[in-house]
Structure 1
């Protein structure tokens, strides 16, 4: 019986795992550790608000799609799907409202990232006692320390405000949906930045065909997603499965062909290939009507030797 969720081993993962297990340094000098193909040099946002948080599996596709719609030039910090998934789970919004947020992010132009980076208010923190000189030394937050998932949060807030008049305050959104990661000033500025980029026009985005297309994109994102987390056991499984598939490609089975002869047949010996007397019945049936004559062995001619021409032959 085929398992419900069968993994498809890839050649790239097989090559990487095989190279890792068989790699030997070229010398005895210190060798840096091997880098993983899935490593990312950019800083990443926290995976989720709390390790024990239960995420809604139906919102996994929307979380992937919303994360992909965050402009990458807004921050050097990479947005993560689990954090967006946590925001969607805490907000508990209908899919149509999330689809409007998708349409908002999908309609942004290239000017949004620069405007957001230049104007986003940064939080100011007081340094702890070892670094505090007693005069209230402050540390200003860097723009790349602001997690870019705030853009998804602001788009969801705008969608709720557009569809529902019973709104909550920004403080409630920041605490209930954002768990205090972002300040109210940052959320309000991001909302205003989104509206200015769209020209304060949300009505054209609330169209049936646009919302249906956004719903299809979210569903498609969840279906096409493949997990990228592997451990040693998975790599061993992929290596063994790949090896068996390669062996199965070359391993053949003998079947009963024409003339009641097993195919493929054994390799003919040298004495059986001189003429056509030992041609199988299958071959004779295939070439029925043609005269197949035995070749008479012809004497071998000596190999011609090269002789340098003399001067008389050249006309000298």
Structure 2
């Protein structure tokens, strides 16, 4: 298993959030899923990221789920928590709470309401968060997913923050699906652990010094993602698999497939504004067919 004490490296999964009928987090199902991934050789899991509908859950709900995961036997060093709010004070409070229950890894979105902010403004925001938390235990991973959040993390900002805060700013998760952006992070701050979220880029990112992946497809195609970490041989099958899920709203589609694979219909539930998908069986069939064709 990869040592992730200081940086997220290796094979990490962005896990979806299972819900009970009233819309609250199903702690038992989440623990089963995460521990099951660990049993398959996954290095770590990020909860309440984009795949986990993180922005739909309060800080209190996120910390309660983390506490339940830890109680179920998940090691704190193998859990990352999705963070980042429009209000810096909320991000500070969540991060302090995460550290308080034993976590070190927090993925931080930049404040994401104002879309016309400058790189200097983004740096100011992250600096205010890190100064407000003021805890050397923290290992922050800056989260770049501008096509969803509306605000990106420039490579220059990541480099300046690393120089300013040292290992407290541990890495960047680049989910932009723009490989040039990944390369820009590597060039600007080679000592940052840069993971990718776009599964089709995993192999070449690792070949160019990337730290590994934090991705959603691992929930339903764990072995395929592992192959991507080993080299480019699975790239065609991965692209085919991603195209099936991405042809629908991603999180409901992923959950629908997971419901079919596990036999647990509870995975179908999502929080508004997302709508659940009833296409799980068809999506699973398409996924199987697409990967077979790509392998032929």
- TM-score (normalizing by structure 1): 0.21
Which has more strand, going by share of residues? Answer: 2
Larger Rg: 1
Bigger RCO (CA 8 Å, 6+ sep):
1
Whose helix proportion is higher, 1 or 2? Answer: 2
Query: What TM-score do you get using the length of structure 2 for normalisation?
Result: 0.22
